[in-house]
Structure 1
Amino acid sequence: MSDVGFVPTPPARRERGHWIVEGLATQVRVIGALIMREVQTRFGRHNVGFLWLFFEPLFLGTMVGLMHSAHGQSMPGGVDPFLFSLVGYVPYFMFRAIINRAGSALHSNLTLLFHRQVTPVDVLLARNLLEAASVIGVIVIILAGGVWLAGVWPANPGLVFFCLLLMFLLCNGLAMMVAALVARWEVAERLVHPLTYLSMPLSGAFFALHWLPANLRELLLWNPQVSLHEGIRAGIFGDAFPSYYDLRYVGWCILVTTLLGLLSLRTARRKLEIF
């Protein structure tokens, strides 16, 4: 057999590739262990306690949907007001839960950060993945319930879950920035909770941009959450009413917040090591 054209991989490159794979595998194991620790810390070792992770957003979303549907007002395209409010609040719950818990994430896991394999990014990512999993699970329940009970099939499930993924990435970047800020100034944690509630009316969770004037619509689209809520509704309701969203802009926002979050956490770790 001829060896013409065969170029062996240099040993240094093979070792570097093996080191990268081994490092990624280690971080995956670390994050998995942190997720299990978070579940046991928050819900104990009882399986029923773990169900609260899914029950809380579903229950709160249902209550919000019932309040909005109690007015009895019809919506454009024959969209059910209960379902409209439910699929608006549940993704917002992901944003609120991730951001609100970010402030206490590092201090409550301070002893873990003395392990070389555990980084602030791992701690936050484990918490945030847990919150995202609960919301995505609830969305699956909602979509399945809509098909089974009302015969409402989502127009584009792929768009729904892609927007949920982008929502998680955006929240994760913001959470890293919040955690680093609280690590430097603990008083900032007291401002996070009211700010998340005040941002709810501007998030796009409970209104469609189609209902608003064009100039206000363009202004609100500077908030990446609005595009994500519009995309989720477009994936569920389809052409029931026009949707306006710019996922490319959302991607740039995710890139900026993630880079700023990683940089701020890098400087915040030195601050945490003092204690």
Structure 2
Amino acid sequence: MLREMSTRYGRTPGGYIWGILEPLAAILFLSVGFSLVLRTPALGTSFLLFYTSGYLPFHLYQSVSNMVAASVRFSKPLLKYPAVTWLDAVLARFLLNGLTGILITAILTAGILTVIDSRTMLDLPPIIEAMSLALLLGLGVGVLNCALSGLYPLWEVIWSILTRPLFLASGIIYLFESLPQLAQDILWYNPLVHIVGLMRTGFYPTYTAAHVSPLYVLSVSLILLTMGLLLMGRYHREILNR
């Protein structure tokens, strides 16, 4: 974890500040852009708050899954030591990036609530649940991709192409309920739609998000994680020797 911190954030001026500025810039871009074409967001009156509640859990998932997927490749020199295993590399990246993402979420949420002078009363249980599910889903996807990209190098390119529309398909810039029924039937199977909807229920007390199924997200996450762990346990030597 210390090695990860020094290499990822210690080599650039500002260090961890960039970890905060990156999601903040994305939220500001969305808020300013949509405020020019819409009078009010789909929920509430603040574009900043609406896109904060949607983007931050997505950013947490994406950060964790991408970092975990590259954990073995990043730590390959260390894995030559018998005392260090592939599981150490995966857990180190998951813990560091997960804790970093949670801290960034807390800082940005508190800062934006202060700036917009909102009287919003956050409901913490659904927010904590949404962030936990985002972490678990990121871990499951990351471990599975770590195994698949190690066995098949082309998989990393294929996955990048397949997930390019994920930002638009995760309910960040719109409400799930505002979509046509056909689109709802298809996008319901995207676990991030449930995570974003659950997160927004913690920001907006009047929003019910009837489509959200934490059990579905939990099941998908655990299935992906189990598949990834089985593949890594079976083929980690072959992956490390490539």
Tell me which interval the TM-score lies in, with the shorter structure as reference length.
Answer: 0.7 to 0.9
Are the structure 2 counterparts of residues 104 and 78 from structure 1 closer, same or farther at C-alpha, using a change threshold of 3 Å? closer
Per the normalisation by structure 2, the TM-score is: 0.87
1:227 to 188, 191, 194: 194
Bigger Cα Rg: 1
Deviation at 1:247, TM superposition (A): 0.5
Which deviations, in whole Å up to 9, do the C-alpha atoms of 1:80-104 show, x marking residues without a partner? 2232123212222223333333443
1:208 to 175, 178, 198: 175
CA RMSD across the alignment: 2.4
Deviation at 1:77, TM superposition (A): 4.8
Higher normalized contact order (CA 8 Å, seq sep 6+, divided by chain length): 2
Q: Determine if the alignment matches structure 1 residue 164 to structure 2 residue 131.
A: yes
Q: Distance in 2 between matches of 1:154 and 1:268?
A: 48
Q: Secondary structure at the match of 2:173?
A: coil
Q: Distance in 2 between matches of 1:108 and 1:146?
A: 34
Which deviations, in whole Å up to 9, do the C-alpha atoms of 1:16-49 show, x marking residues without a partner? xxxxxxxxxxxxxxxxxxx111010112278831
Unaligned stretches of 5+ residues in structure 2: none
What are the within-5 Å matches in structure 2 for residues 237-256 of structure 1? 237-240=204-207, 242-256=209-223
Q: Distance in 2 between matches of 1:222 and 1:202?
A: 10
Checking the alignment, whether the CA contact within 8 Å between 1:98 and 1:172 is kept in structure 2 is yes
Q: Distance in 1 between matches of 2:208 and 2:126?
A: 16
Unaligned stretches of 5+ residues in structure 1: 1-34
Tell me which amino acid in the other structure corresponds to 1:223.
N
Q: Secondary structure at the match of 2:172?
A: coil
Of the structure 1 ranges 225-234 and 202-211, higher mean CA displacement relative to structure 2 is found in: 202-211
Q: Secondary structure at the match of 1:72?
A: coil
Deviation at 1:250, TM superposition (A): 1.1
Q: Determine if the alignment matches structure 1 residue 100 to structure 2 residue 95.
A: no
**Residue of structure 1 in register with 2:148 after alignment:** 181
What are the within-5 Å matches in structure 2 for residues 94-133 of structure 1? 94-133=60-99
Tell me which amino acid in the other structure corresponds to 2:47.
P
Are the structure 2 counterparts of residues 71 and 176 from structure 1 closer, same or farther at C-alpha, using a change threshold of 3 Å? same
Amino-acid identity (%): 24
Checking the alignment, whether the CA contact within 8 Å between 1:100 and 1:192 is kept in structure 2 is no
Alignment: residue pair count:
241
Checking the alignment, whether the CA contact within 8 Å between 1:177 and 1:260 is kept in structure 2 is yes
Tell me which amino acid in the other structure corresponds to 2:220.
C
Of the structure 1 ranges 47-56 and 159-168, higher mean CA displacement relative to structure 2 is found in: 47-56
Q: Distance in 1 between matches of 2:100 and 2:134?
A: 13
Q: Secondary structure at the match of 1:49?
A: coil
2:163 to 196, 220, 223: 196
Q: Distance in 2 between matches of 1:174 and 1:233?
A: 23
Tell me which amino acid in the other structure corresponds to 1:199.
L
**Residue of structure 2 in register with 1:48 after alignment:** 14
Are the structure 2 counterparts of residues 231 and 84 from structure 1 closer, same or farther at C-alpha, using a change threshold of 3 Å? same
